[in-house]
Amino acid sequence: MSHDHDTNASEQGIQRPGHPRPAAAQDHEAAPAARILAFLALAELSSFERFSTDAQFAPNLEDKVALGGLAVAEYRLFEVLRQRLAALGFEAVALMEEMQGPLQAFTRQTRPGDWYESLMKSYVVDSIFRDVHREVITRLDEESRTVALAVVDHTAPAEYLHERLGEAVAEDELLAGRLALWGRRLVAESIRRGRETLLQADPEAPAAQIMSSVTEAHSKRMASLGLVA
């Protein structure tokens, strides 16, 4: 992996027409593009951890294998982002280490109590983060954006989770009530966290407007599960 920091400025820079970031900002901190890619990399590594931890508690081997497969796919996307960061001259892990505090706090605040709560967490959180990331990556240079788009377009986990949660909720009214409640707690924390990510990536982003449409997409997802958001 390349640890070369001599890549040219345009490769490291982000595209913000009308909002040129002063060159000085890139000198004493990681370039904004690198920070955005590192946000995504942290989210992928966190999804890998969540799915592989969930696999441990799977009620049967079929689910364990399915969750394991989802975990592996997230790790691969983390690697793709790490490679892009290396190409831009950044060491992903070092960058992520500096930036991981808020995500760690979020993880502590949203510990699931059982198997279904953990599936619900992945469904709610990963979807909201993905919607936020989709906004954030429009600020990337073209090549980084292509890499990042492949990451946010990876919806296989959401499809599995939707199916698995939909079945469970349809069969068990008590569980449905509990998961709706849990979902509300998750969405509050995820929206807060998503907003922070957004503003760190671009302090001038129209956060209220973006987070409102992210929340709306969340409500639609809950409704499609038969839950009230």
Summarize as ranges the residues that interact with a copy of itself (CB under 8 A).
45, 48-49, 52-53, 55-56, 60-62, 64-65, 68-69, 71-72, 75-76, 78, 93, 96-97, 100
C-alpha dist (Å) from residue 32 to 152, 171, 195, 203: 18, 47, 17, 11
Give the residue with the Cβ less far from a copy of itself, 76 or 192. Answer: 76
Q: Cβ 198 to a copy of itself, closest distance in Å?
A: 23
Give the residue with the Cβ less far from a copy of itself, 75 or 115. Answer: 75
Give the residue with the Cβ less far from a copy of itself, 5 or 76. Answer: 76
Tracing tokens 């600020």 back to the chain, one arrives at 139
Q: Cβ 223 to a copy of itself, closest distance in Å?
A: 33
Per-residue b or e along 134-157, where b marks 16 or more CB atoms closer than 10 Å to that residue's CB: bbbbbbbbeebbebbeebbebeeb
Q: Cβ 50 to a copy of itself, closest distance in Å?
A: 10
Phi, psi at 110, each rounded to 5°: -130, 50
Give the residue with the Cβ less far from a copy of itself, 48 or 90. Answer: 48
Closest by CA position to 93, among listed 175, 228, 3, 20:
3
Q: Cβ 64 to a copy of itself, closest distance in Å?
A: 7
